[in-house]
Amino acid sequence: MPRVLSSNLGYPRLGEQREWKKTLESYWSGKSDKATFLDTMKSLRLDHLRKQQQAGVDLIPVGDFSYYDHVLDTAVTFGLVPSRFGYTGGEVSLEQYFGIARGTKDAAAGEMTKWFNTNYHYIVPELNNLTPQLTENRVLKLYLEAKQELGLEGKPVLLGPYTFLKLSKGYDSSEFAGWLNKLVLLYAQVLSELNQAGANWIQIDEPSLALDVSADEWTLVQEAYTRLNEASGNSNLLLQTYFEGVDGFGKLIDLPVQGIGLDFVYGLEQNLNALDDWGFPEDKVIGVGLIDGRNVWRSNLEEKLGLINVIAQTVSRDRILLQPSCSLQFVPVTSRHETALEPVLQSALAFADEKLAELALLTRAANIGGAAVQTELDQSRKAVSQLAGSDWRSPQHPDQVANENDTRNVPFEERRSLHDEKWKLPVLPTTTIGSFPQTVEVRRARRLWRTGEWTPEQYEQFIQQEIREWIQIQEELGLDVLVHGEFERTDMVEFFGEQLDGFAFTKNGWVQSYGSRCVKPPIIYGNVNFVEPMTVKETKYAQSLTSKPVKGMLTGPVTILNWSFVRDDIPRSQVSYQIARAISDEILALEAAGIEMIQVDEPALREGLPLKRSKWQEYLDWAVGSFRLSTAAVKETTQIHTHMCYSEFHDIIDAIKAMDADVISIETSRSHGELISSFEVHGYDKGIGLGVYDIHSPRVPGKEEMVQLIERALRVLDPKLFWINPDCGLKTRAHPETVAALKLMVEAAQDIRRQLGQETKVGV
């Protein structure tokens, strides 16, 4: 009987105990030297490959491991280094690599934005008038390393030229074909060298082909892959798509490659229908992405076997690769440490290692029949059915939103006058996004409290001390609207989930967000309900220390949803509305305590937008509705703020206006103010703060940089509606750089006020 093979698309970088993160941060801080860094990273890389070997994966990816970001890896492979970093050609040094990622004393870091609709951030390549060159064949080195060190015939992984170009900036649309041609020449050299080294399969990731692709672009892709196929010689090319179904299925399967990878989780219906309509070429292998690479629940393996059998009616078994739906970098490494969870919940989880075990089991079942692995299939069925039948997963709060109030009592213009009179803020009021540095001392105090070495009273005293210190710092700096600093919070989603019904938390469920920054997403396993006030005590205490307004700081319902691993048995919209009701209860508790300036952050609202435009409106309707439901019940004199991360803001500006927040702050500095051009076209008629410096980099920008960003924004935005703030929260920054940057930010605002001749006039 022809044999089905298994294939993995990518493995988490972090390590079971976040060894990858610790290695990076040790090197950055100077605690370890370059040689130690490189040796440790090599050990981690090989350990990850060994684990996949032991899991029985037939085709194991090499080249998915990165020191920071795989898009940045691709850019430096082709010498695409922005001129401000002083690059003069040749192999990019480790110092230059991290300079692009994190910035240097003299050069701002590369822009960072979300990888499609995930919470992973990539560094945006800047092509401005650069000449690409092959600086090193990085993936060839990693392929040879795996072969020499482990005897592993790995599957080299490359980010495809079409997707790389789509993710880049610094070129005009009329230059797209020319740039693709330049890149294809270099990709062809990479593939030729891999072929000469004996690579059997080469995975080329083209997730952008699952988006909206024009007819002209399909022609360019066809031409590109014709040349790449020729260059690859005897090596087989697996063109991999994921995150969605493919609209141009007929064009996709006609490409001159030896394999096509498809997502049969998030693109299940569309790809299955396309397979029925178009069939599949007899000279190609199909990569069947049937294990969910983006969520943490066990698969229904009998359903998956049924799917394999359906596909096998169209494609012979010897041409089927069983795969995750995408790289496993979006899930934690293993659930085997999560013994503190309820047994029913723990047994229903599948992180990366468990997903590879599911993949191996399905491959065995597909090859020798389900009866041979019936015990394992029964165990899987039991785990899934116990979770589905548990009391805390029963649907609650049916969709009643249409009958609930999600509209503020008075329109913005009337609220604006009330807020001007109430707050009496200067023009261009200054504030921050919410968090201040989470120092070693803060993390230590939290650990001592959680382990019981400190009493709740000791911990509360420590938190109050931090709040006092930073209220004083903010007043000394001259900020107009203050925050309490969020020292009691581990993470902006985890903190709230720990205090709401329906959330569970892992011990080691870390995933990479950007660089060494990790998050531990909560697991929404039950109905979400408000229990008791979550933020009132600390915010009320901070307000008692100052006569200036202190913002209440909350995370919005859509961000909590998008940054959690969410139950998959009811619609996401229903879970979002449940969270919105809970956040509304918290807002009313803050308001009752005298806190009447409240920020409800939604940095992940754009991130959750479906990749296909045809699906946008449905999502935006319930996402905006969830935010409005959470904020609508406040008094007209209460000022609602929100914060969002930059990502093609112009695409959803109407939805953002519909959120009806009084003030929105947006991450913009890493885009070097490019977002401002959106307002030249669309305008914005509510309070707005465009981040004037990048908090993701340790670099302290000059005051003149901030002044220039503010001046450009004020060419298209009303000064009376404009706020001055950093890009994002300051949790990851050190104390000295935070104070230095905020001092310059306040001075920049004061300079602009003097230019306007409005030092003392009232703003929003």
pLDDT for the residue 762: 45
pLDDT for the residue 698: 76
CA distances from 91 to 126, 532, 564 (A): 18, 56, 39
Neighbouring C-beta atoms of residue 347, cutoff 10 Å: 18
Contact 729, 744 (CB under 8 A): no
Mean pLDDT confidence for 51-71? 97
Residues 548-568 pLDDT 10s: 999 999 999 999 999 999 987
Question: Quick one: 379 and 405 in the same domain?
Answer: no
Q: Measured between alpha carbons, how far is 408 from 600 in angstroms, rounded to an integer?
A: 15
Q: For helices 94-102 and 70-77, what crossing angle results, to 10°?
A: 130
Q: Which alpha helices (DSSP H) does 517-602 contain, by range?
A: 536-544, 557-562, 572-592
Task: Give the domain CATH number at 286.
Answer: 3.20.20.210
Question: Quick one: 316 and 371 in the same domain?
Answer: yes
**CB within 8 Å of 327: residues ≥ 6 apart:** 9, 10, 11, 61, 64, 242, 293
Q: Is the pLDDT of residue 383 over 60?
A: yes
Q: Is residue 12 part of a domain?
A: yes
The candidate with the shortest Cα–Cα distance to 527, out of 558, 555, 566, is 566
Residue 687's DSSP bridge partners are: 663
**How, if at all, do strands 121-123 and 112-114 pair?**
antiparallel
Q: Is the pLDDT of residue 402 over 60?
A: no
Q: Is residue 342 part of a domain?
A: yes
Question: Quick one: 550 and 672 in the same domain?
Answer: yes
Residue 117 belongs to what domain range?
5-18+51-391
Q: Is 205 annotated as a binding-site member?
A: no
**CB within 8 Å of 158: residues ≥ 6 apart:** 63, 74, 139, 187, 190, 202, 203, 204, 205
Question: Quick one: 210 and 325 in the same domain?
Answer: yes
**CB within 8 Å of 90: residues ≥ 6 apart:** 135
Question: Quick one: 133 and 260 in the same domain?
Answer: yes
Cα of first residue to Cα of last residue in the chain, in angstroms, is 73
**CB within 8 Å of 10: residues ≥ 6 apart:** 61, 64, 157, 326, 327, 328, 329
Mean pLDDT confidence for 20-48? 98
Phi, psi of 565, rounded to the nearest 5 degrees: -90, 115
**Residue corresponding to tokens 């394992």:** 376
Final residue belonging to a domain, choices 367, 391, 415:
391
- Mean pLDDT rounded to a whole number for the chain: 92
Q: Is the pLDDT of residue 764 over 50?
A: no
Residues 423-438 pLDDT 10s: 999 999 999 998 999 9
Q: Is 735 annotated as a binding-site member?
A: no
Question: Is 696 known to be catalytic?
Answer: yes
Question: Quick one: 219 and 303 in the same domain?
Answer: yes
Q: Is 453 annotated as a binding-site member?
A: no
Give the rounded percent of residues in the chain with a pLDDT score beyond 70: 95
Q: Is the pLDDT of residue 746 over 90?
A: yes
Q: Is residue 588 part of a domain?
A: yes
Q: Which two tokens stand for residue 190?
A: 């990479």
Q: Is residue 32 part of a domain?
A: no
pLDDT for the residue 491: 84
Mean pLDDT confidence for 323-334? 98
**CB within 8 Å of 545: residues ≥ 6 apart:** 467, 468, 471, 472
Q: Is 643 annotated as a binding-site member?
A: yes
Q: Measured between alpha carbons, how far is 15 from 332 in angstroms, rounded to an integer?
A: 9
Final residue belonging to a domain, choices 347, 372, 391:
391
Question: Quick one: 286 and 171 in the same domain?
Answer: yes
Q: Is the pLDDT of residue 730 over 90?
A: no
Q: How confident is the model at residue 393 (pLDDT cuts 50, 70, 90)?
A: low
Q: Is residue 693 part of a domain?
A: yes
Final residue belonging to a domain, choices 336, 357, 391:
391
Q: Is 326 annotated as a binding-site member?
A: no
Question: Quick one: 409 and 278 in the same domain?
Answer: no
Nearest-5° angle of CA 475, CA 437, CA 593? 55
Q: Is 423 annotated as a binding-site member?
A: no
**Residue corresponding to tokens 């892709």:** 221
Options 48, 682, 696, 735, the catalytic residue: 696
pLDDT for the residue 647: 54
Question: Quick one: 288 and 317 in the same domain?
Answer: yes
Residue 10 carries which side chain, given as an amino acid letter? G
Residues 346-368 pLDDT 10s: 999 999 999 999 999 999 999 99
Mean pLDDT confidence for 214-232? 98
Contact 167, 205 (CB under 8 A): no
Question: Quick one: 410 and 385 in the same domain?
Answer: no
Q: Is the pLDDT of residue 403 over 70?
A: no
Question: Quick one: 606 and 562 in the same domain?
Answer: yes
Q: Which two tokens stand for residue 633?
A: 């019940």
Mean pLDDT confidence for 111-123? 91
Residue 40 CA, chain-centre distance (Å), reads 26
Contact 115, 131 (CB under 8 A): no
Q: Is residue 33 part of a domain?
A: no
Q: Is 761 annotated as a binding-site member?
A: no
Q: Is residue 352 part of a domain?
A: yes
Q: Is 20 annotated as a binding-site member?
A: yes
The total of structural domains in the chain comes to 2
Question: Quick one: 615 and 674 in the same domain?
Answer: yes
Q: Is residue 34 part of a domain?
A: no
Q: Measured between alpha carbons, how far is 556 from 659 in angstroms, rounded to an integer?
A: 12
Mean pLDDT confidence for 242-266? 97
Q: Measured between alpha carbons, how far is 408 from 399 in angstroms, rounded to an integer?
A: 21
Mean pLDDT confidence for 80-109? 94
pLDDT for the residue 15: 94
Q: Measured between alpha carbons, how far is 642 from 36 in angstroms, rounded to an integer?
A: 43
The candidate with the shortest Cα–Cα distance to 159, out of 215, 116, 217, 96, is 116
Give the rounded percent of residues in the chain with a pLDDT score beyond 90: 78
